[in-house]
Structure 1
Amino acid sequence: MAVATRPIPLGGSVPADTPHAISVSLPKWADNVGYEEGDKRVVGVMETGYPRFFIHRSIQKLAALCEAKFGRDNERCILLPSQRVAREAKAFLASQTISSRIVEFAVCPSQSLPSSSTSHNMDIIELQILLFDKENFPLAKSFWQHTGDGISSRMAEKALYLLGETPAGSTAASPTLDKDPGIRSSRNRHYSRYTTPLPSTSQQNAQQTGSTDDQIVEEENLTAELSTYLEERYGRNLPTFNAPLAKQALKRRIAGGLLPSDEGFGSADVTRGKGNSIVKEEDVYLYPGGMSAIWHAHDISRIARRAKGEKEGKSVCFGFPYTDTYKILSKWGPGCHFYGHGGAEDLAALEKTLETQNDGKILALFAEFPSNPLLRSPDLVRIRELADRYGFIVVVDETIGNFINVEIMEYVDIVVSSLTKIFSGDSNVMGGSLVLNPNGPHYDALKFVLDECYEDLYFAEDVVYMERNSRNYRERIRRVNDNAYDVTEYLHSRSLDSGPGDNKVIKKVWYPRYSSPETYEKARRLPTLGKGGYGGLFSLTFTSLEASQAFFDALQCAKGPSLGTSFTLASPYTILAHYLELDWAAQFGVEAGLVRISVGQEDGQVLRSWFEASVKAAEEAGARR
């Protein structure tokens, strides 16, 4: 049975009352438009947002303290985790003729901390502070957004703790927060009387032991020590000093798809890669987020090309990608060739480019399998053939497909993934991975660069959350596969694709079963886990914007950015990702009225009732036109 829920108010964290939540509630279509337009009705009540777009309150509080300590008049800063990342950010600003300076700040334990405190590892936090004139903050923030290499909210809270400060939200807002619209103070509760719409892993474990969150904590603000204790006792996190063990477990899980287990972190489940070698944990590299993994895949490809003494050519963006992937390829290096449909015609155009281009070899091809938000699957067999002929690197993002549902390793050189999504599920921690194909033609060169250049920037507390969350990912994927298959089958029956019908307003269901199924089939892992093995993400397009809005507004699930959550999550994707370029996106089938849905683990009948009500609302809106 589905857990009882109550709606999350506009601007609230998703999941509700989660201090490091990955999403934010934008429950109505107008709320999403208001967010994009900076409407104070919306931004004035937002407690949080997706971490690369909305800098967490605790990070902003720490940044304000750093600006007060090290900044000059008229300066602002962003906080970065290493000297190398800070130098990259400084170079990025310099490429736009913007000067900046770096200050290194070693945050040591404050004398005000209780000497008996043992819940926190007392290691020093080393921050790189990039300072610049405040009018250049939007450009500096774009580096933060595109690369995903800013410090994490948990790292900021640790630094604040060491300084004797409370996390933002526990006390009055910092000076920076007061100046920035769209952020307000809120209680910093790690647990809540309500969940929306499913309990997190920690809540489920507490329920299994006979305890409830209401019994553990009521409505008090938790101290850092108590919240850590609760996560380790009831959430069954590893202690943070075991972060190296958690990283090893994650690498093994990603390399071989380990099954969840309390002892030994599981046993081998699936084999990744074919040929003489299979993927080993030494071929897996962890990053603080999925975009960080993509940015570094691009970076190491460029370094490997330069190491060979070859001219660096453009990259290829094949298929309509998540927005920041295209921006990374456009802003770093000589640019990219963009093939936004990602089908057979684009493959023919790509081959012609490969035959005739004279501005250096193609560096690398980046694609998603399947793509976000249209769930189209590129022809990886054909792409591999072209890569072998012309010598470029193939980088594929498998976040949406996920390696339980698909096996793409034999076709690519690098696989990247956002662990933030279905691998975690709880929507409370960021993470990313980069995996090398040990049988790929570029393996030795890429491995050499990574061994020389890789920095482990994954913060210890984020690692232990990710390790805990991902223990049951296989069973979550099974449930999500089943639910999405059933929901999309119903929605497809109400679409024009299934044939004409009275009042039908759904034009198309974008889902691997219906979007380029022949190319998805080439990489689908058999036997499937659950129904179809198509994953939990799909999109809908409608005959009118009014129908889109009515459908979205009537939908009873959580609504906000992100995907792959254990609960169903919907968003008007094009509005959020491409609001300033709607006509451009529409050229590639990404219509302004597109609604993207990430299906969760709710009871099937509950899900069916939600979507039936939304379809009815959309059809009624269509009939009124």
Structure 2
Amino acid sequence: MSSTATVTQTDQLETLGSPVPPFTAHAISVSLPTWRDNVGYEEGEKRVVDVMVSGYPRFFIHLSIQKLARICEQKFGVQDERCLLCPTRKIAEQCRAFMVDRSTKAGSPVPVRLVQFTICPEDEDVSTPCVELHIVLFPKDSFPLAKQFWQHTGICISSRLAERCLSLLGEDTGSPKPPVPAANRPPVKPGNRHYSAKSFGKSPPSSPSPIHSRFGQTVIDASAELMNKDHLNYVEERYGRNLPLEVAAAAKRALRRRIAGVLVHDTPTHWSAAGGHEAELGPSTRGVEGVTEDDVFLYPTGMAAIWSGHQLALGTLPPAKSVCFGFPYTDSLKCLEKWGPGCYHFGHGLDSDIDDLEKLLEQESQKSSERPVLMLTTEVPSNPLLRTADLPRLRKLADKYDFLVMIDETLGNFVNVEVLPYADIVVSSLSKIFSGDANVMGGSLVLNPKGRHYNELKAYMAANFEDVYFDEDAIYMERNSRDFRRRITVIDANTLAVCELLHSRSLAAPSPPPNPAVKAVYYPKYVTSHNYDKCRVRGPNGEFTGGYGGLFSVTFTTMEASKVFFDTLPCLKGPSLGTNFTLASPYTILAHYAELDWAAGWGVEEGLVRVSVGMEDRETLLSGFEKALRAAEAVVQQQKPGEGQAQ
């Protein structure tokens, strides 16, 4: 693997606004290669907004969904109405309820109406099922309110479902198709001869690829490599656009078994049978006796799983405020604030905050005989500060005061951490490292069968759960996740090596260098490690087998050092994490640009850079981070003492 190629400024200009990974029709990230680009995106700068053909799906509505929405607005809308597209009537009704509730609290209720649109194949092909869309229509100036529902819940339609609808309507899809520059266009290569031939000279197919732009590789070189791989066509050509229902059902069973930890054999020779009746199932590896695939529920996004977990609590127990423990991913907090009675936020997530939480619980219990709080949510570890709460202590408080605990294990993942014993509900974004390929969304919710309220929770799910995970998305997710344990091991080791390099040159190092650029590295090895180790996976001999995960954040001694480090780092830049390739973002700028002071109050600095490490060659990775680190250190040395200090 070459370590000499770099991502040039020309490459950055060419990739701004394009999909990450490159040439991926259903990419879940977007290229924002410089600090200035990220600020421009947040400020709606024309230079950035006008070239956006992709984005994180809950923030940027996929072009196929946009095209389908325009068709629905023309067909059913009146007086310049806009719409949101939902997969079921129940979700459409939840969207309408949210819009009416929030607009009423703001002054006056917005008029919202629902339309059902059933789309069937024109040729009456019985092998191709009809698709049912539920359209939420509202005045166009209320679209930002509707977008909140889309963003906070993550349960509207997926881009692949939109493409299925467009296909049934005889329309071209709206998938992004950035061209390959003619001078660098790779040679055309025949498709897989076992399936229908498709020209590689056409726009790239929307299918997963385990090979992405390598760390330090030019975007053009990566594109040529991507488009010369037979595996790019495999899933699309093998299944086509009309997936057999039994294939999707088996894929979902395989996913639920994989997440439940009950597959005795989950290796290449057994993957094809993982969702079948012949698969050998055993006791769960999740640390709780009795977990089965029936305790696992799939969702279209990780956010949908989080939102649904809160809805599950609200639907099962008498309403009360919830507790958000630690500084969470932004929409996780919004779910607790905008649905139900609200929440208490203990934003630092440190042991001292548990002292304050215990005082609050005791005070509320003295005021009333009712349950003091409904549920507590926390991330293990948290995003972006990588902190872990004292889970055994939180579990004891939950048992004493009879509230639910929901843990988001996305960053730790169940290869590294064992959190189910401390939770009633465990949620995760499958879009991240479980998939790795960054080309499909998904989420999961797991119930703890040993939890005090398991029977009520399970009964509620039996009566209310809707499977709205689109079949084709499930096919991709199952295929991507087959080797996730192997990938996590590689990524854990790579991340540890990178963090040790950065930590050794930081203010927090045992012997910090003169004029350091790095202030601190936020990573479970260095942050609340005593709590992380309490839930870290151990082997039969008691030794740790779980790693520290693939994500870290880094802060700098000056803002200029932050910007230079980010701009110099030779990797893909964009939102999301848990990718098989290294991906970086100025996280606070992207997630909290409108509330920078609020975030800083919880220790999340404006200049924080978050990095999700991939599977690249370790020496190449270290060389790239060394280059960015030296550039940042050079900037610090050039500045006068006290000049441009990061806050």
TM-score by length of 2: 0.85
Aligned position for 2:194? none
Find the partner of 2:56 among 50, 57, 66: 50
Match runs of 1:91-130 below 5 Å? 91-95=97-101, 96=103, 97-111=109-123, 122-130=128-136
Secondary structure at 1:538's aligned position in 2? strand
Find the aligned partners of 1:534 and 1:250 in 2 and give their Cα distance: 24
Find the aligned partners of 1:257 and 1:611 in 2 and give their Cα distance: 39
Is residue 525–residue 548 contact of structure 2 (8 Å, CA) maintained in 1?
yes
Instruction: Give how far 1:230 is off.
Output: 3.0
Find the aligned partners of 1:304 and 1:2 in 2 and give their Cα distance: 56
Find the aligned partners of 1:92 and 1:251 in 2 and give their Cα distance: 30
Instruction: Give how far 1:428 is off.
Output: 0.2
Find the aligned partners of 2:162 and 2:567 in 1 and give their Cα distance: 35
**Residue 66 (1) aligns with residue 72 (2):** yes
Is residue 284–residue 433 contact of structure 1 (8 Å, CA) maintained in 2?
yes
Q: 1:333-360: CA deviations, max 9, x gaps? A: 0100000001111101111111112475
Is residue 320–residue 341 contact of structure 2 (8 Å, CA) maintained in 1?
yes
Find the partner of 2:361 among 345, 348, 354: 354
**Residue 488 (1) aligns with residue 499 (2):** yes
Structure 2 counterpart of 1:467, which letter?
E
Structure 1 counterpart of 2:98, which letter?
F
Instruction: Give how far 1:92 is off.
Output: 0.4
Find the partner of 1:281 among 279, 293, 303: 293
Alignment root-mean-square deviation, CA? 2.8
Find the partner of 1:167 among 156, 164, 173: 173
Is residue 283–residue 291 contact of structure 2 (8 Å, CA) maintained in 1?
no
Q: 1:491-518: CA deviations, max 9, x gaps? A: 1101111133122111111000001000
Is residue 578–residue 585 contact of structure 1 (8 Å, CA) maintained in 2?
yes
**Residue 432 (1) aligns with residue 443 (2):** yes
Aligned position for 2:258? 253
Is residue 11–residue 45 contact of structure 1 (8 Å, CA) maintained in 2?
yes
Q: 1:419-445: CA deviations, max 9, x gaps? A: 000000000000000000010111111
Instruction: Give how far 1:110 is off.
Output: 2.7
Aligned position for 1:190? 206
Find the partner of 1:548 among 556, 559, 562: 562
Aligned position for 2:383? 372
* Structure 1 portions without partners, runs of 5+: 173-185, 199-206, 219-225
Aligned position for 1:603? 617
Find the partner of 1:85 among 74, 80, 91: 91
Aligned position for 2:345? 338
Is residue 117–residue 132 contact of structure 2 (8 Å, CA) maintained in 1?
yes
**Residue 18 (1) aligns with residue 24 (2):** yes
Instruction: Give how far 1:12 is off.
Output: 1.1
Find the aligned partners of 1:238 and 1:107 in 2 and give their Cα distance: 17
Is residue 76–residue 131 contact of structure 1 (8 Å, CA) maintained in 2?
yes
Structure 2 counterpart of 1:10, which letter?
L
Instruction: Give how far 1:532 is off.
Output: 6.2
* Structure 2 portions without partners, runs of 5+: 104-108, 179-201, 216-223, 640-647
Q: 1:344-400: CA deviations, max 9, x gaps? A: 111011111111124753010010000000000011000000000000000000000
Q: 1:94-136: CA deviations, max 9, x gaps? A: 102212000000011134x9x7xx9xx5111100000000000
Q: 1:253-287: CA deviations, max 9, x gaps? A: 00016433343237669844446x33110100000
Match runs of 1:135-214 below 5 Å? 135-169=141-175, 189-190=205-206, 195-197=212-214, 213-214=227-228
Find the aligned partners of 1:33 and 1:531 in 2 and give their Cα distance: 40
Q: CA separation of 1:428/1:231 partners in 2, compared to 1, >3 Å: closer, same or farther?
A: farther
Find the aligned partners of 2:170 and 2:280 in 1 and give their Cα distance: 43
Q: CA separation of 1:192/1:157 partners in 2, compared to 1, >3 Å: closer, same or farther?
A: closer
Find the partner of 1:33 among 32, 39, 42: 39
Report the number of matched residues: 580
Find the aligned partners of 1:391 and 1:217 in 2 and give their Cα distance: 51
Instruction: Give how far 1:530 is off.
Output: 9.8
Find the aligned partners of 1:404 and 1:536 in 2 and give their Cα distance: 12
Is residue 247–residue 463 contact of structure 1 (8 Å, CA) maintained in 2?
yes
Aligned position for 1:399? 410
Find the partner of 2:579 among 565, 568, 591: 565
Instruction: Give how far 1:73 is off.
Output: 1.3
Structure 2 counterpart of 1:585, which letter?
A
TM-score by length of 1: 0.88
Aligned position for 1:619? 633
Q: 1:67-114: CA deviations, max 9, x gaps? A: 000000120000001111111101001102212000000011134x9x
Aligned position for 1:183? none
Find the aligned partners of 2:415 and 2:295 in 1 and give their Cα distance: 18
Aligned position for 2:522? 510
Is residue 381–residue 412 contact of structure 2 (8 Å, CA) maintained in 1?
yes
Find the aligned partners of 2:612 and 2:114 in 1 and give their Cα distance: 40
Instruction: Give how far 1:621 is off.
Output: 1.2
Find the aligned partners of 1:67 and 1:282 in 2 and give their Cα distance: 39
Find the aligned partners of 1:602 and 1:529 in 2 and give their Cα distance: 27
Secondary structure at 2:472's aligned position in 1? helix
Find the aligned partners of 1:148 and 1:526 in 2 and give their Cα distance: 34
Q: CA separation of 1:562/1:217 partners in 2, compared to 1, >3 Å: closer, same or farther?
A: closer
Q: 1:589-612: CA deviations, max 9, x gaps? A: 110000000000000010001100
Find the aligned partners of 1:556 and 1:240 in 2 and give their Cα distance: 43
**Residue 323 (1) aligns with residue 339 (2):** no
Find the aligned partners of 2:129 and 2:116 in 1 and give their Cα distance: 16
